[in-house]
Amino acid sequence: MATFLDIHPENPQPRLIAQVVDALRDGALIAYPTSSGYALGATLGNAEAKERIIRIRKLDAKHDFTLVCRDFAEMGQLVQLSNAAFRAVKAATPGPYTFILPATGEVPRKLVHPKKKTVGVRLDTHPVARAIVEALGEPLLSTSLILPDQEEPFTYGWAVKEELDHLVDIVIDAESVEPRPTTVVDFTEGYPEVVRVGSGDTERFEA
């Protein structure tokens, strides 16, 4: 059974955040709130957790995993940014965007798209998500918690616990979160291509 933690949505309790981080470092797979709905999270080097995510969501090899970063500087260590991409991404973060960019050698090979050699990155604005990555001290491997028969991510921790009690290790409840998918912008070819319109304004990326 998954551990169920009630964490304040605006002022996360340091003791509970530390409990989550300790579990992540021990190999846990967590379900946690983000600014775009619930997500699954694990440490970058946790290959077993990645496989569990793939099984839960029934993902294929074309899926771009997302790395949730602490700040723009950390993001810059994980992806290659041209001057134009640097300016555009920096101006839009933190915010409701996921950026697909060429991965650097800092990203484990198994997390990189097998053909494009890319990875998704974002800076989340939810206080709990930010507290976790700050305390963890490294990016969090993440993907939206959308089951194969669903179109939107979970919005309540109790619903996640009820559905995935034996598939994840920790479920964080932080009141309701809105299912507002991020806008996904692909810089693989050196210019911005909006591949999913979400809650982030797309005008800044249109020619």
pLDDT given for residue 190 in this prediction:
85
Residue 118 has pLDDT above 80, yes or no: yes
Contact at 8 Å (CB) between 23 and 30? yes
User: How high is the mean pLDDT of the chain?
Assistant: 92
pLDDT at site 63 = 80
Edge-first strand listing for the sheet containing 3-6? 3-6, 170-173, 30-34, 37-43, 140-144, 66-68, 118-122, 97-102, 183-186, 193-196
d(CA 78, CA 96): 19
Mean pLDDT computed over 153-180: 92
pLDDT for residue 165 is more than 70? yes
Query: Residue 116 gets which letter from DSSP?
Result: T
Domains and CATH numbers, the chain: 3-205 (3.90.870.10)
pTM score: 0.93
